Structure 1
Amino acid sequence: MRSVTKAAVWLFLAVERVLTAQIPLSPDYHDESLDFYSHFERDSRQWDLDEPYDVNATGNLVFETVNSLLQHWANTRYRIGHTIVPGIVPVGTILYHGAITGPHIPTALDWVSVEPEHSMIFCRGTVETGCWHATFAVTRPMKVLYFDGSSAANIPEGTMDTQDLVAWSEMRPEWVSNDTQRIRDLCKWGLKNGINGLVRMEMNFEIMICNFTSHMEVISFSNLDNFRLASDNPTDLPDDPNNVHQVFEMMHSASWHENYPGETRIILDYSALISFYDNDLVPSLVPRRVGVERWDHRVAGISPEDIERVKDRLAQVLERPPVTASGIDWKTVLRSVVDRYASRLDVMQYLMNITLDDTPVLLDRARKVQRQLRTMLAPYILLAALPPRGSVEVNATNSWAAPVFQGCATTHTSSIGTSGILTPSERLLLRAVRETTREICRVTTRIWASGFIAGLDPLYPADQNLDADRIRILMGEWNEDIERLMSWLDWSVWVKCRPACGVEEMCYLPTWPLGFFPPDHPFPAWNSALKLPWPDPNEGEWKRPQHKCIRRLEPYGF
């Protein structure tokens, strides 16, 4: 105990010495805060703590879809994509191809995978002859176009919508399984626009290659022992533990890119992205989302005029030189917001999940929530903004805390866009970050301010015993506010197996086509899969994938 005390004293003295040695960059900080407060008074209507987001605002949807690009988990959870983004596969990137016809490098259109565990399941041959597997290296930057969501899942319920729009300017659900025609027409369009690859995701990420000789060279073409996953008899597969093992290892390799930073071998140009959540670009989809859960959001139903507007914008961004963009690292801008708030909101939700009748626990949890809020908002709590204690104005309204709200909401974006060189895509991203941080900061500041007045703040505790009944009411309101905020944000980072999976397990979201077919045919070959009854896309785990722990070692099972 004495050693702990000594350590605490030593740490305090060390910090004090460092702080004492530092010379403030602005000795008039307090005066600056007063100026800031005065500026706020002139612009107070924008920072009303009781004014929530607009019901048709899509900043939260743009924010989370863009924050989730090239991440397997989020794009398995919400399979219907709403974003198209140009990108580059850098020089030196290794890609893999399981040959179907024999030891021949594709001379035309075909697929490559980012992981060999994925490509090898398409490696065809017999037990006697084995199969042929090619490894390529990118020799010059390959320009690609990425379709988010589970864009390689051949499902007639929306996963192919954005590709259909680019290839045919209309949705063709009758061609959902016609990937031969799809790659042919997408590459025909792509090559005219400088695109040589189209990035999609299903069990893992893959790239449709429009020309195998223009940007890649062969590293090896190996005759491998065949895993026999390409068998046309689905009953062969469950009986062979080697095949089942290979399927699960393919899923394991996909899990490496589940969350941030995602698949890093493809570098996306955020300044050129197209989002179907852009209300200005695609106004015809706005009424189709009213009262509709995100699971049911579709690009189908877009007007012909909006289709042409999207394709014109896409052609423009592919033609423009990169120097026209601002140079802002949007991936990091978005991620810094998630890093700052995700875990603390998660903890506050946990702290509020209690029985409100237990007064000692209630007061303890309320204080802990307030401390989390103060920590989150500390960089924005100006001394000049704090109210006189016990004032009548304070008891009637929380408007005194609006400068804290403003400082919190503008920190991540106040310096962006001042040069006026943002692209339309960047202006969309800027608006998404602003709308998202505004709502986070509005809700958290509102809760903190009410806790401050109630005497829960650790730096300004109540002069007398806390009013348990008042705190009970506050905690109920806070819980509703946090639940509503987190539901609106809907960040996939909060979707995880709790408790965490064991060493022999992995947290899994049902990934088409694995785990969707009947128990007697859990791993059908691709040709045979088309002959089996497909699950109803409007029910069960197709529509709302549920995460769960599954074994990644024998015995396997979903």
Structure 2
Amino acid sequence: MLTKLWKGLTGPSDIWCSKRPISLLQHWPNTRYRIGHTIVPGTKVPVGTLLYHGALTGPHLLTALEWVSVEPDHSIVFCQGPIETGCWHLTLKVTRPMKVLYFDGTSGAKIPEGTMDTQDLVVWSKMNPEWVGNEGKHIMDLCKWGQKSGVNGFLSEVMICDFTSHMEVVSFLNLESTRIGYSSPADLPEDLNNGLIYSRTSVHHVFEIMHSASWHEMYPGETRIMLDFSGLVSFYDTTLVPSLVPRCVGLDRWDHRVEGISSEDIERVQDRLAQALIRPPVTTSGIDWKTVLRVVMMQYLVNMTLDDRSIFRHAQQVQRRLRTVLLPYTVFAALPPNTSVTANATNSWAAPIFQECAILHTTSIAHGTTLMPSERLLLEAVRETTREICRVITKMWVSGMMTGVDPLYPREQHPKADHIHTLMGEWKEDVTQLMSWLDWSVWEMCYLPTWPFGFPGAEPPFQVQWDSASLWPDPNKGEWKRPQPKCIRRLEPYGL
């Protein structure tokens, strides 16, 4: 169904400034048309939803206003710390339904192209382009504005106003640092390519951020946020915002802005939104099982036929992917010293990492929650699937470390080619058996170039130097303004 909100502008024939499907909480449509025009109350972030936060200095609950992610792949990038002590990664569980407010478009993008205009109008009654990069000012004033309506947070990025309300800590893990970001690669071990590990690792982690976002590209989109469509407020509503009607005539959808709205229309939008927020919402309660089942993740490893000259490089690529999968669970205390990765009969040092991987997504559901018989059946299915995925991935990762192909645990000499061939054969068998058991098959992903990768003014760690076959838009050209979809491999090399 297409929304037809602009009509009858020039006589008998209808002309619409916007004709597009309802696509709230879906990544692709809101990336393709990143300047938002819709605000929707969220009836709740369901009980049991897990939220993640990295970049912590220690195991202390946040008291300031901050951001969280619904995917550990996103938050883990910000979990950075000294190589000697690792970093801290926080996992929270929602204990009471959270009331949120959703801004469509790419409303978390800090660019002066209109992505944050609707937020500015709601909280300040005017647009302040000079504050685009002032994250602290935005979240502070938004939370202050939302207090009177009981709003606990804001989206697209999840801005949390009070970490002591509606949530409890599931885990505070001291993890191995991601080792990407703002500093030079001097603290990383170097191979014969003199620092190439650092740039490849950075590109790999950037790709994984895009990959986690791709899980919500199309319908049903992000299912962990439930919106109250009866409270939707749109700047395409000609009755509510008539002053914007002439502002979009003759313009492509890419160029629509809420700039030029009248003060009277701003006041009407604010009044409508206030009414939607204070009335009793239509809510449901309990665990969102559809989401729990969708969150269980599998990383696919490609079959390779390799010669002795390239097999070591490919083995390192596979090992990096295994490391990325396990990174949210890689408890720092469990890691062996960098200089002494030694095999033993049980490799028991990896047991805590496997345990965290296997139980993190289900422990918060099992404890303190009353489940119906059908829900217990679903929980056991999720547990069994997650445990087997984590068992195989941990086993493969440990065997890579034992063989000496892990870039962060290098041996003085490269392992012999026949040892790597044996390792690759074991990996192939492990993955084949696991995929047969799971019966899943996805080998590519499609994406839209997304802020801030390749955008003008991007800051570290997003200033990665891409080659001529870059996955991202050239910041010196205008292609970032009208992004076009690309489909790529899910393994290095990413280009097709």
Classify the TM-score, shorter chain.
0.5 to 0.7
Report Cα offsets for 1:212-251 as digits up to 9, x if no partner: 0111000000011111233245998983423322221121
Q: How does 1:373-388 map to 2 (within 5 A)?
A: none
Q: How does 1:321-340 map to 2 (within 5 A)?
A: 321-322=280-281
1:77 aligns with: 32
For residue 552 of structure 1, report the CA deviation from its aligned partner: 2.6
Is contact 1:237–1:523 with CA below 8 Å preserved after alignment? no
CA drift of 1:308 comes to 0.8
Q: Where do 5+ consecutive residues of structure 1 fail to align? A: 1-50, 201-205, 326-501, 530-534
1:517 Cα offset (Å)? 6.3
Task: Give distance in 2, aligned partners of 1:538 and 1:317.
Answer: 43
Instruction: Quickly say closer, same or farther: Cα 1:291–1:237, change in 2 above 3 A.
Output: farther
Amino acid at match of 1:81: G
Distance 1:153 1:557 in 2: 25
2:200 maps to which of 238, 241, 249: 241
Distance 2:260 2:210 in 1: 33
The alpha-carbon distance between structure 1 residues 117 and 302, as it changes in their structure 2 partners (threshold 3 A), is: same
Structure 2: segments with no counterpart, 5+ residues: 1-10, 187-194, 284-440, 466-472
1:315 aligned to 263, 269, 274, which one? 274
Asked if 1:254 is matched to 2:192, the reply is no
Deviation at 1:503, TM superposition (A): 6.1
1:291 counterpart residue number: 250
Letter in 1 for 2:74: H
Who is 2:259 aligned against?
Answer: 300
Which structure: greater helix fraction?
1
Counterpart AA for 2:160: I
Aligned twin of 1:220: 171
Q: For residues 327-406 of structure 1, what are the structure 2 equivalents within 5 Å? A: none
Shift in Å at residue 124 of structure 1?
A: 2.1
* Structure 2 equivalent of residue 506 of structure 1: 445
Please report how far the alpha carbon of residue 278 of structure 1 lies from its aligned counterpart in structure 2 after TM superposition.
0.4
Tell me what 1:54 maps to. 14
Cross-structure match for 1:197: 153
Out of 474, 489, 492, the residue aligned to residue 551 of structure 1 is 489
SS in structure 2 at match of 1:284: helix
Kindly provide the amino acid, as one letter, of the partner of residue 216 in structure 1: M
RMSD of Structure 2 on Structure 1 (CA): 3.0
Deviations 1:439-482, CA, capped at 9 Å, x for gaps: xxxxxxxxxxxxxxxxxxxxxxxxxxxxxxxxxxxxxxxxxxxx
Give the one of 65, 70, 82 matched to 1:114.
Answer: 70
The match for 1:229 is 180
Secondary structure, counterpart of 2:40 in structure 1: strand
1:524 Cα deviation from its structure 2 partner: 3.2
Q: CA deviation at 1:72?
A: 0.4
Alignment of 1:512-523 (within 5 A): 512-516=451-455
SS at match of 2:168: strand
Which string of whole-angstrom CA distances, capped at 9 and with x for unpartnered residues, describes residues 514-533 of structure 1? 24469xxx99326999xxxx
Q: TM-score, normalised by structure 1?
A: 0.52
Following TM superposition, by how much is the alpha carbon of 1:191 offset from its aligned partner in structure 2, in angstroms? 1.6
1:238–1:244 CA contact under 8 A, matched in 2: no
Equivalent pairs counted in the alignment come to: 314
Deviations 1:131-154 (A, max 9, x none): 100000000010000011011111
Contact 2:79-2:88 at 8 Å conserved across structures: yes
Per the TM alignment, residue 166 of structure 1 is displaced from its structure 2 partner at its CA by 1.4
In structure 2, the residue matched to 1:381 is none
Identity value in percent: 69
2:485 and 2:12 map into 1 onto residues whose CA distance is 31
- Secondary structure of the residue aligned to 2:58 is coil
Counterpart AA for 1:509: L
TM-score with structure 2 setting the length: 0.59
Give the distance between the partners of 1:510 and 1:176, measured in 2 at CA: 20
Does structure 1 retain, via aligned residues, the 8 Å contact 2:453–2:462?
no
Of residues 279, 284, 294 in structure 1, which corresponds to 2:238? 279
The CA distance in 2 between the partners of 1:179 and 1:68, in whole Å, is 26
1:98-144: CA deviation from partner (whole Å, max 9, x where unpaired): 13433322112001100000001111212111110000000001000
